[in-house]
Amino acid sequence: MRNPAENAQLALLLEVTGTPKPGNVDRYRDYDDLRFEHFMAGSVGAFDGLCAAADGAPIGDAFERAVDGMADQSGGNTQFGALLCVVPLVRAAATERLTPEGVAKTVEQTTVEDACGFYRAFDHVDVAVDDPPDDLAALDVRRGRAAVETLLQRELTLYDVMDRSADRDGVAAEWTSRFERSFEAAGWLLDDDGPIYRRTSRVFLRLLAAEPDTFIITRNGRKAAAEATARARDVLAGTEDPEALAEEFVARDINPGTTADIIAAALFISLERGLVV
């Protein structure tokens, strides 16, 4: 029987093998500088941090260790957002609190030191993020550990940091909404049947069709995000071919990365709840 850290690593691996997931790296599609093997290596590298989360290390420290290990490959950022979703879920599972209420309590109890660990993680890998509002420039996550002094002065916990970003970042929104979409998607995975890579694709499209992907908004703009959502709905309606859409979005560099992050979280919850591999 796998423990939570092992299920978390498996969830990262299953996420990247799911296909087709339009715009994402998968078992059949790569970007020129970010390939399937980079995600495999990132999943392997993150394991030490996932084990730390399961063993009771502070969430910020466990997250930084997972990101540091994930970054030990030549592709750059593969699973930063996925780990930000999965690490608190691992902690909740390890303490038998893998419910929306239990995860909410887990993230709401994070500390200022957890926030510092989160910021230090940005020193290990480049992450695409929006420019913060002017009044939060001192807390721009791209400053990495240089922002730690400000975090300490303002006594901001990691939950506080997520709360300040939840209106523009889909992963942060999971933190402040009891991981609502992750748990809902886990239910879809468990209710479906057939190979997991196909279930993953179907759930990915349902999530993308439900609301615009914030990673696309950050990198490509709101118009591209709205297009991706509309075309995912077309796939679900049977009027668009998912394989052709996947090829097109990779060619256009339209990557629903936040949706993929939530899929990783949903796969972890599903594995903990009995998804058979």
Can you give the pLDDT at residue 31?
A: 96
Q: What is the pLDDT of residues 122-131, one digit of tens each?
A: 999 999 888 8
Phi-psi region of 179 (alpha: psi -120 to 50; beta: other; left: phi over 0): left
63-88 as b/e: b if 16+ CB within 10 A: bbbbbbbbbebebebbbbbbbbbbbb
Q: What is the pLDDT of residues 200-245, one digit of tens each?
A: 999 999 999 999 999 999 999 999 999 999 999 999 999 999 999 9
Q: What is the pLDDT of residues 46-75, one digit of tens each?
A: 999 999 999 999 999 999 999 999 999 999
Q: What is the pLDDT of residues 28-43, one digit of tens each?
A: 999 999 999 999 999 9
271 and 11 Cβ atoms separated by less than 8 Å: yes
78 and 30 Cβ atoms separated by less than 8 Å: no
CATH of 4-272, one of 2.60.40.420, 3.30.365.10, 1.10.4200.10, 1.10.599.10: 1.10.4200.10
Is the model's pLDDT at 137 over the cut of 90?
no
Distances (CA, A) of 15 to 20, 116, 237: 11, 28, 23
Is the model's pLDDT at 138 over the cut of 90?
no
Instruction: Give 157-208 as a DSSP string.
Output: -HHHHHHHHTTT-HHHHHHHTTTHHHHHHHHHHHH--S-HHHHHHHHHHHHH
Q: What is the pLDDT of residues 190-210, one digit of tens each?
A: 999 999 999 999 999 999 999
Global pTM reads 0.97
Can you give the pLDDT at residue 135?
A: 67
Is the model's pLDDT at 9 over the cut of 80?
yes
Is the model's pLDDT at 134 over the cut of 80?
no
CA dihedral 97, 101, 105, 107 (to 10 degrees): 90
Instruction: List own/partner pairs for 139-146 with CB under 8 A and 24 or more apart.
Output: 139/164, 143/119, 144/119, 144/120, 145/116, 145/119, 145/120
The pLDDT mean for the chain works out to 96
